[in-house]
Structure formats: structure tokens, C-alpha cells
Amino acid sequence: MKRLLMGLVLVGLAGVPVSADDSGGDIHYDKPVIGVLFSHESHVEDAGLDCESCHNDIFSMEAHAVQEEPDFNMLSLSEGRYCGACHDGEMAFASNTRCASCHEGAIGFRRALGMENTGASHY
């Protein structure tokens, strides 16, 4: 029940579904490009970070708020902002490497959120 309520709250705040779980859930960004995944599980449970490691200095607590920032882009990450604060090649893999670790693409984005197939295809 707690997870369901948290999921509903997150959808209400963000307008885009967020998978709720004990670590904070997955966030699927759709700006500036569709299909960027942030996994709280990999950061909280796997890497051992706590909420204060990122919130409120690097990211606000509101899901998707950062994607409204005009400089939320790969250049800013490479300059050490947002994800780039840790993903600098020393603390964690550099933000300009391992693209598929975060970029799930439009098809992966739609699949993860249970959206209907749009009919778009490479064939």
C-alpha cells in the first residue's frame, strides 16, 4: 500500500510515471531527449549512497524538476553539474562513456512505462 501511495504521489508531482520502490524508484526523463533512465536502486542499494548525497544540493526532491533546467544537458554533465558531479571518470564512470547505461532510447522509454507501440520502426 505504501508503494502504491508513493507512486501516485510521484505521478501527481511529476506528471510522468515514476516507478516507486524503497530506494526511490526509477525516473524516466523525457527532456531534453526521450529515454534517459535514472535508477535510484543502482545508486542507493548498489552504490550505497543516501538521499542526502544528491538531494537537495545537486537535485531537488521533485522528480523530473531538473529536466526543466535549460542547462540540463551533456555539456553541463561534462562540466561537473547534475549527474556529472559524480560521473566524472573518477568517482563513477564518466558521463560521456557507457551511453546505454542511462540512455534507454524512445523504445525503451515507452516499454518501461507500458506505453502503446507508436508504430515507429526502423523497418
Q: Is residue 123 part of a domain?
A: no
Instruction: Name the residue among 89, 90, 71, 91 with its Cα closest to residue 81.
Output: 71
Total structural domains within the chain: 1
For residue 42, give its domain range.
2-112
Which tens digits make up the pLDDT trace of 38-73?
999 999 999 999 999 999 899 999 989 999 999 999
CATH (domain of 87): 3.90.10.10
Q: What is the dihedral of CA 39, 70, 97, 84, to 10 degrees?
A: -70
Average pLDDT over residues 23-32: 88
